[in-house]
Amino acid sequence: MEPAPAKAKPQGRLLVSSALDAKDELEERLERCVGTVQALTNGLSEREANDALTANVCKGQQQHEEVCLGLFTLVLTEPPQAQRCYRDLTLVNRDGMNVVLVKVNQILMEKFLKLQDVPRTQLVWLVRELVKSGMIGADGVVMTLLKQIAGGDISTKNLWLAESVLDILLEQKEWVLKSGMLIAMSVYTYLRLIVDHGAPNLLTLRQKEVDYCISMLREKFMECLIIGRDLVRLLQNVARIPEMELIWRDLLHNPQVLSPQFTGVLQLLTARTSRKFLACRLTPDMETKLLFMTSRVRFGQQKRYQDWFQRQYLSTAESQSLRCDLIRYICGVVHPSNEVLSSDILPRWAIIGWLLTTCTSNVAASNAKLALFYDWLFFNPEKDSIMNIEPAILVMHHSMKPHPAITATLLDFMCRIIPHFFPPLESQVRQGVFNSLTFIMEKRVLAHLAPLFDNPKLDRELRSMLRERFPEFCSPPSPPTEVKMEESVSMEMDNHVLEKEDGCYDTTEAAFSDDEEEVNNKGKKREFRFHPIKEAVVEEPADITPWLDQLDDTMKEKVQQLQKTSDTEAQCEVMQEIVDLILEDDFDTETMSSLASCLAELFKDHFRGDVLPEEITEESLDDSVCKPVCLVFRNLVTMQEDNSGFSVLLDMLAELYQKQPKIGYHLLYYLKASKAANGKMMLYESFAQATALGDLHTCLMMDMKACQEDDVRLLCYLTPSIYSEFPDETLRSGELLNMIVAVIDSTQLQELMCHVMMGTLVMFRKDSVLNILIQSLDWETFEQYSTWQLFLAHSIPLETIIPILQHLKYKEHPEALSCLLLQLRREKPSEEMVKMVLSRPCHPEDQFTTSILRHWASKYDETLGEHIKAQLIKNNNQPRKRQSLRSSSSKLAQLTLEQILEHMDNLRLSLSNTKNSCEWGRIGGRPETFSERHVLQKLSHSVIDVVCPLSCVPVFSQTPILQALQHVQASCDEAHKMRFSDLFSLAEEYEDSQAKPPKSRRKAPATSPRSRKGVAPPTNNEEDSASSSASEEEDSKPKAPKRKRKGSSAVGSDSD
């Protein structure tokens, strides 16, 4: 690393920084801790320094942390003192080095690329010392360090890191053998790195990696077996190395040599690879950038980010191998949330298509295609996820039009991989691909495959091969009239509508209504909703033989006893004995996993059917939580969290959760329904953190999704508790709300509303309700109406959510508009309400603004007049260049002067065209209903060509509006004066009424603006005309004494 140039600010000794970089907070804190340690030890001998440090750490947690971090930083920055500082650190720490381990992990994940050369070297040295000391948690640090070794990178620093970590693993082999996960993770990492280290100058390093992998595979194959099918893919890539070839042959032809429990390569290939392994081959920086592109970058704006990523990681010849890691990561790990799926964020298939186009060698291209289709080959709908196979079909589908060559090469690869992947398993591979295509159609990822497989853009030979391999998918749907409709729908479907999380796809047959494939005028397809049809379950005897042999004799006997017993009470007794054994013995990960597999298989019938009793009583609830699996819950509830057995049982539950995901919502039910668990709902948070997910929000959403698919009644039963106990996880987004309203019926909706009204359920809060309602705009009609009903049951001011009006379009969001309209009519208009209502774009078919303004005008005319005046004056004073009606450049409508005038004119026309909206007095006489008519007679008699007097709603008689119109008219151009002439005529009349003396107003009809437009004078119905004229002008200005005007009106009419 080149020395840093001179800077105005001092250069830290830990991280590389430039003159423009702000001082890193972590580095500042560590430097302060170093200062504390130096202040305590300066001028003292080693023994005195140790005594001073020990005395200081005993003062409290803060002092302990400061001393430990100070010594840790000295280890990184002062190599000559490293040994002494590490010795002091081991002597003074009081938490098993936990503070140091956490900080090492933080630096590895967040700051490793910024470390200077010396701290980087010292950090690896420190990890080696931690491993030598056998510190608990050191295996996690080593796995984090493994993640920093980049694939497809043979730079000096990366090679040094790969060799340094390998040396630690080789030197401390006995320690490594104690951690099954570390064995699997290190084997996965170095099997992948061997491919990159084929150059002559790297053969020594490669040989060390080969020897390490062979040693682990031979000695601990069952630990490596947890990697899953990707272990076969990695071994296949290195099988030509002589030593690896022997392993490869044993794997294929003599599996018992590797482990007596290993039945053959098919056992590996049918096991899905965990996300942990797929993610470990991307550095934290790569992972962050990739997740940013799949969660923040909009589709169509991704080029600059892809170019940056390619320059950073994919620009060298060696980086060709990295594309496989990226594709496997995207397919197996990146499963976007519902919010991302319902947005215009860059879809996964687009990134994969881009990665395929960047392959510059045939070998890299073939490996990339294999990585894309790898989960297809042995796909099992019951075990595998639709999200893993979806990107491949979408890449082919979306590339057909712009890049038919990509689609053709992928289809060709899919056909040829079936017989050539492993000939002895050809039938299984064929079945796996067939299962994948069938599942894709069942889940409606594509409506039909015939437009893809039998497309004219494909060459004849490929189409022939597809028809031969997949005849079931090449025939067009019948009747033929539906082909066009389905094809157009599938071509127009946005990817973010199609991509779902694992839980968003049902694993049973789906039923669709006839109108679920309607497409709106912009081609946006409404999101599918799948309603599972429950099928009869054929009960099969539980087979736990593969896992029994891995248990000790005592536990094995109890599990067999549990298997033979059918009585529930007896099963509970045996289960309690098993729990006692778990708490007594020191269970390792492998034994825990085997026991969890046995229990999941034995209790599988407990997870079928409804959990919640038909009739909810105290007795029925007690009976429902007396299942054997609830014994684990009961023991957890009765334990204190600081009890050592508590964490053991949590680990047991976490293992069981991996085998049977339904355990999550069963725990939630137990915590709510059981008297023993009263007030212990937060125990679920500890469970969530103990699972492989490690995150409360993710775990809770997955469990509620599973509950939604299995038992809607139970979902509604749990809802009040979930919202009240976990408000931060449930109220910040609409994910859980969408799950609920997607499946409830009207009765359940009414029950939830009652809970809200009684105060036992809060589903919205002020700071997030607006975002949730905006999210709901893409939901189905009943879901939206249910959401609004639940919102209205809360006592949240309408002004909190009024900005949603800017997001509503009259054709696309009728549900929200109708609910909002009904709620607005109950409210007295505020300035913000009026502003938002007026900011809606004007459209002839959109009557929302006109209808609510008219309603407000009839009830709150004075208030409405003041608010409209304020908006007219405010927008009239803005520069004209900033006003743009219905601007297409902004997603949210901006209020403009022209917009307000247009809405006002629409209101005027609406009032004018409704003859029966006001009550008239006697024909030929003076009006008797509206006293304001007499007031307006002094203004003008000229407005005689409208159908109905504007005085039927007094808003146009309000002085504030007339003054505002007068103000606007004085400053606007001729085009606007012509366009809104009828509206401005009210201002002219108001101006005339202010300028002329009272007597001259009797002759107003002869000189009024309407007379100048060529309106003929009244003939046979002068009295009617005069009455009409006076009535219309009544709304213009209610000024001057009314009695005086009443007399004036009569005289004026007689004179005419």
Mean pLDDT of the region 634-642:
78
Contact 689, 729 (CB under 8 A): no
Among the ranges given (246-250, 447-451, 746-750, 1000-1004), the one the predictor scored with the smallest mean pLDDT: 1000-1004
Contact 375, 417 (CB under 8 A): no
User: Which has the closest alpha carbon to 717: 748, 757, 681?
Assistant: 748
Q: Cα(142)–Cα(140) distance, rounded to whole angstroms? A: 5
Residue 847's pLDDT is 84
Q: What are phi and psi of 190, to 5 degrees?
A: -80, -25
Q: Cα(252)–Cα(689) distance, rounded to whole angstroms? A: 39
For 463-530, the DSSP string reads HHHHHHH-HHHHSPPSSTHHHHHHHHHHHH--HHHH---GGGS-SS-EE--TTTT-B-TT-PBPPP--
The answer for residues whose C-beta is within 8 angstroms of residue 47's C-beta and 6 or more apart is none
Q: Where are the alpha helices (DSSP H) in 731-768?
A: 735-741, 746-758
Q: Cα(294)–Cα(354) distance, rounded to whole angstroms? A: 13
Q: How many alpha carbons fall within 13 Å on the CB side of residue 314?
A: 23
Q: What are phi and psi of 335, to 5 degrees?
A: -120, 95
pLDDT band at 585 (very low <50, low <70, confident <90, very high): low
3-state secondary structure of 298: strand
Q: Cα(609)–Cα(870) distance, rounded to whole angstroms? A: 62
C-alpha 735, offset from chain centre: 8
Among 251-265, 641-655, 949-963, 1026-1040, the range of highest mean pLDDT? 251-265
Contact 396, 495 (CB under 8 A): no
Structure tokens at 843: 């459209």
Q: What is the CA radius of gyration of the chain?
A: 38
Contact 1013, 943 (CB under 8 A): no
Q: Kindly tell me if the per-residue pLDDT of 586 is higher than 50.
A: yes
Q: Kindly tell me if the per-residue pLDDT of 920 is higher than 70.
A: no
Residue 894's pLDDT is 64
The answer for residues whose C-beta is within 8 angstroms of residue 575's C-beta and 6 or more apart is 562, 628, 629, 631, 632
Mean pLDDT of the region 490-519:
35
- Give me the percent of the chain exceeding a pLDDT of 90: 34
For 133-197, the DSSP string reads TT-TTHHHHHHHHHHTS-TT---HHHHHHHHHHHHHHHHTHHHHTT-HHHHHHHHHHHHHHHTT-
Mean pLDDT of the region 553-567:
81
pLDDT band at 94 (very low <50, low <70, confident <90, very high): confident
Residue 343's pLDDT is 79
Q: Cα(394)–Cα(292) distance, rounded to whole angstroms? A: 21
pLDDT in tens, 780-799: 888 889 998 998 999 888 88
User: 508, exposed or middle or buried, with CB in 10 Å at 0-12, 13-18, 19+?
Assistant: middle
Structure tokens at 3: 């020395």
Q: Cα(528)–Cα(580) distance, rounded to whole angstroms? A: 48
Contact 381, 439 (CB under 8 A): yes
Residue 1038's pLDDT is 41
pLDDT in tens, 332-353: 999 887 677 667 889 999 999 9
pLDDT in tens, 96-123: 889 999 999 999 998 898 899 999 999 9
Residue 202's pLDDT is 93
pLDDT band at 540 (very low <50, low <70, confident <90, very high): low
Q: What angle do CA 450, 300, 375 make, to 5 degrees?
A: 45
pLDDT in tens, 164-203: 999 999 999 999 999 999 999 999 999 999 999 999 999 9
* Cis bond before residue 479 (omega within 30° of 0): yes
Q: Kindly tell me if the per-residue pLDDT of 485 is higher than 60.
A: no
- Give me the percent of the chain exceeding a pLDDT of 70: 78
Q: Cα(904)–Cα(980) distance, rounded to whole angstroms? A: 9
C-alpha 719, offset from chain centre: 20
Q: Cα(987)–Cα(1036) distance, rounded to whole angstroms? A: 8
pLDDT band at 530 (very low <50, low <70, confident <90, very high): very low
Which amino acid type is present at position 379?
Answer: F
Q: Kindly tell me if the per-residue pLDDT of 1024 is higher than 60.
A: no
Rounded (10°) CA dihedral 749, 752, 758, 762:
-120
Q: Kindly tell me if the per-residue pLDDT of 206 is higher than 90.
A: yes
pLDDT band at 642 (very low <50, low <70, confident <90, very high): low
C-alpha 415, offset from chain centre: 35
Residue 512's pLDDT is 33
User: Which has the closest alpha carbon to 225: 190, 181, 192?
Assistant: 181
Residues of 945-958 as b/e, b for ≥16 C-beta within 10 angstroms? ebebbbbbbbbbbb
Q: Cα(900)–Cα(871) distance, rounded to whole angstroms? A: 8
Q: Cα(516)–Cα(493) distance, rounded to whole angstroms? A: 13
Q: Cα(952)–Cα(918) distance, rounded to whole angstroms? A: 5
pLDDT band at 1053 (very low <50, low <70, confident <90, very high): very low
Q: Cα(850)–Cα(871) distance, rounded to whole angstroms? A: 16
Which secondary structure element, helix H or strand E, spans residue 948, and what is its range? none
Q: Cα(203)–Cα(775) distance, rounded to whole angstroms? A: 56
Q: Cα(805)–Cα(839) distance, rounded to whole angstroms? A: 8
Of 211 and 531, more confident: 211
Residue 957's pLDDT is 67
Most distant CA pair in the chain, distance: 122
pLDDT in tens, 798-849: 888 888 888 888 788 888 888 888 888 888 888 888 888 888 888 878 888 8
Q: Cα(692)–Cα(682) distance, rounded to whole angstroms? A: 18
Mean pLDDT of the region 905-921:
60
Of 84 and 872, more confident: 84
Residue 593's pLDDT is 79
Q: Cα(602)–Cα(543) distance, rounded to whole angstroms? A: 8
Q: Cα(868)–Cα(874) distance, rounded to whole angstroms? A: 10
pLDDT band at 225 (very low <50, low <70, confident <90, very high): very high
Q: Kindly tell me if the per-residue pLDDT of 150 is higher than 70.
A: yes
DSSP 531: E
pLDDT in tens, 381-432: 988 999 999 999 999 999 988 888 999 999 999 999 999 999 999 999 999 9
Q: Cα(966)–Cα(944) distance, rounded to whole angstroms? A: 21
The answer for residues whose C-beta is within 8 angstroms of residue 249's C-beta and 6 or more apart is none
C-alpha 517, offset from chain centre: 24
Q: Cα(681)–Cα(39) distance, rounded to whole angstroms? A: 47
Mean pLDDT of the region 851-866:
83
Among 42-51, 125-134, 469-478, 695-704, the range of highest mean pLDDT? 125-134
Which amino acid type is present at position 268?
Answer: L
Residue 995's pLDDT is 54
Structure tokens at 921: 């007095």
Residue 481's pLDDT is 36
Structure tokens at 894: 């901006």
3-state secondary structure of 15: strand
Contact 73, 33 (CB under 8 A): yes
3-state secondary structure of 24: coil
Contact 367, 321 (CB under 8 A): yes
Of 61 and 1026, more confident: 61
Which secondary structure element, helix H or strand E, spans residue 954, and what is its range? none
Residue 320 has a CB neighbour count (10 Å cut-off) of 21
Residue 590's pLDDT is 66
Secondary structure (H, E, C), 421-436: CCHHHHHHHHHHHHHH
Q: Cα(812)–Cα(274) distance, rounded to whole angstroms? A: 41
Q: What is the mean pLDDT of the chain?
A: 78
Among 339-343, 436-440, 512-516, 616-620, the range of highest mean pLDDT? 436-440
For 546-605, the DSSP string reads HHHTTS-HHHHHHHHHHHH---HHHHHHHHHHHHHHHHHS---HHHHHHHHHHHHHHTGG
**DSSP β-bridge partners for residue 525:** 519
Crossing angle of helices 362-373 and 404-420, rounded to 10°: 80
Residue 577's pLDDT is 84
